[in-house]
Amino acid sequence: MNAYTRRGLLAASAAVATAAQAPIALAKAALPTVTPQPDATTLADRIRRKEISPLEAVTDAIARAEAAQPKLNFIVTSLFDQALDQAKAGNIVGPFAGVPFLIKDLNDYKGAPTRNGSRAFLDAPVAKASEPHVEAFTRAGLVVMGKSAAPEQGYLPTTEPVAFGPTRNPWNLGHSSGGSSGGAAAAVAAGIVPVAHASDGGGSIRIPASNCGLFGLKPSRGRMIGAEKQTHAYDLGVAHVVSRSVRDSAGVFASTEYSGEGAQYKPVGLVTGPSKRRLRIGVLLDTAGGLKPDAEVQTGLEATVKLLTSLGHRVTPTKWPLDGAVFTQDFLTLWATDAAKQVQIVTATRGAKAVPDMLEPFTIGLAEMVSKLPASAIGESIARLEASVPVYDAWFKSFDLILTPVLAKPAVELGYVAPTVPFAELSARVTHYVGYTPVHNVAGAAAMSVPLHWTSDGIPVGMHFAGRAGDERKLFELAFELEQAQPWAQRKPPVWFGG
């Protein structure tokens, strides 16, 4: 889920094409033999050593994308020609020079349309400039070969937009890859690219990482390039990546964190391994709303506690420091204000009758919900959310990190939280399903999903670790330790294109 990073709807768009219900077709090309795919760090090193050229790396990734798209529907805009031209030029620089990459389709990349997973943007013009954090990725040498799929405006924890059809999870094609960075996660999990852009306004890095067996770290508010001026609880969205290895995430982080004048935090730099420091970790099972997770999720949490204890960390029970029911309603109110803006703009530019054809039922339902609230409700919700930040920070007087599940359920079946489910039922499902992650967006805290459990039928279940704002080093160091103690990179999903 990743709202509050969207631009307004296009003021003058023409009639929108019929929503696609099948995977977006990619340009047909003769597919070369695909070599096994290493992580981004290894691939970049091979390119530096001239064992493989950027052109070969990008060509291989395009071949994987062509083969995978009919099964996964992970990409909405292919930029293959541009990527090949960039790779051929031979002048790519940066720590990840030549590594193929995807940009999420909620963010502007120069020369490509930004469709925001919405029928209202199907005819969007190409962006004239890239957003600052997107430019940071390209300065690191990453070669953008396409825009990855996302739900409408990033509102839902699944990638099943009416405009483009569902993105499928490579661990089980009938299940959700998560949202809102679902296309990115499916692509990385299936071995198409080693790392991909993701963003997080309520769990949108961590949720798809959990669903797809990946590592996903949500940076602190104001930490990354392009977000350095964010300071308020309503500044929810942050950008980073999903990856299979911790070192890829750490490397991209070091290349894209803001360290210039006015930086809110001391730069983390490149974290390369675990710390010897033993941590005080608080653990809780229930969601912020007081609901229990599924049995498989509880099993994963219990196993993670045992693993942490065996490594010498001190794990003790804790409780949420906030009134979960009030927080959940306030967060939903804040979320809904963005949807209300979308409805207002469509109404103003195309007329009220166009709204159902341009926007999804869930978006419309959010807008209707907020329209029925008293005039003071939005301001009161924001004030309570702002007041929750120091309460969250005080939690860490007793703990270094907090452990919870990422989600209340393993990756759900497609359709369970789709935008066409009746609004009241869908809202109840979503608030239970994502009852752990939004707290950390409001707090501006660093948090991560680590792939430490798989269900009996082979679905990944991520475990969630959170600190305070600025605690990325602590999280990366623990992630390296967990990766060494219980490796996951050798696990490949049934739908795999990495060779």
Bridge pairing between strands 401-405 and 314-317: unpaired
Active site residue 204: yes
Active site residue 371: no
Bridge pairing between strands 172-176 and 168-169: antiparallel
Peptide bond preceding 180 in cis form (omega within 30 of 0): yes
Q: Which amino acid is at 137?
A: F
Q: Give the integer Cα–Cα distance in Å for 214 and 209.
A: 5
Q: Give the integer Cα–Cα distance in Å for 320 and 164.
A: 38
Per the listing, tokens 């103690």 go with: 485
**3-state SS class at 346:** helix
Which of 56, 32, 72, 21 has the alpha carbon at shortest distance from 188?
A: 72
Residue 27: CB atoms within 10 Å: 9
Contact 486, 450 (CB under 8 A): no
Q: Give the integer Cα–Cα distance in Å for 243 and 37.
A: 13
Q: Give the integer Cα–Cα distance in Å for 13 and 359.
A: 14
Report CA-CA distances (Å) from 197 to 95, 150, 219. Answer: 16, 12, 13
Written as six digits, the tokens of 138 are 């390209």
Residue tagged active-site, from 78, 104, 147, 427: 104
Instruction: Encode 48-76: b = buried (16+ Cβ within 10 Å), e = exposed.
Output: eeeebebbbbbbbbbbbbbbbbeebbbbb
Say what angle helices 324-350 and 377-394 make with each other, to 10 degrees: 140
Task: Give the DSSP letter string of 159-214.
Answer: ---TTT---EETTEEEEE--SSSHHHHHHHHTTSSSEEEEEESSSTTHHHHHHHT-
Residue tagged active-site, from 180, 181, 210, 255: 180
Bridge pairing between strands 75-78 and 143-148: antiparallel
- What number of CA atoms fall less than 13 Å from residue 47's CA on the CB side? 29
Residue tagged active-site, from 204, 210, 249, 381: 204
Enzyme catalytic residues: 104, 180, 204
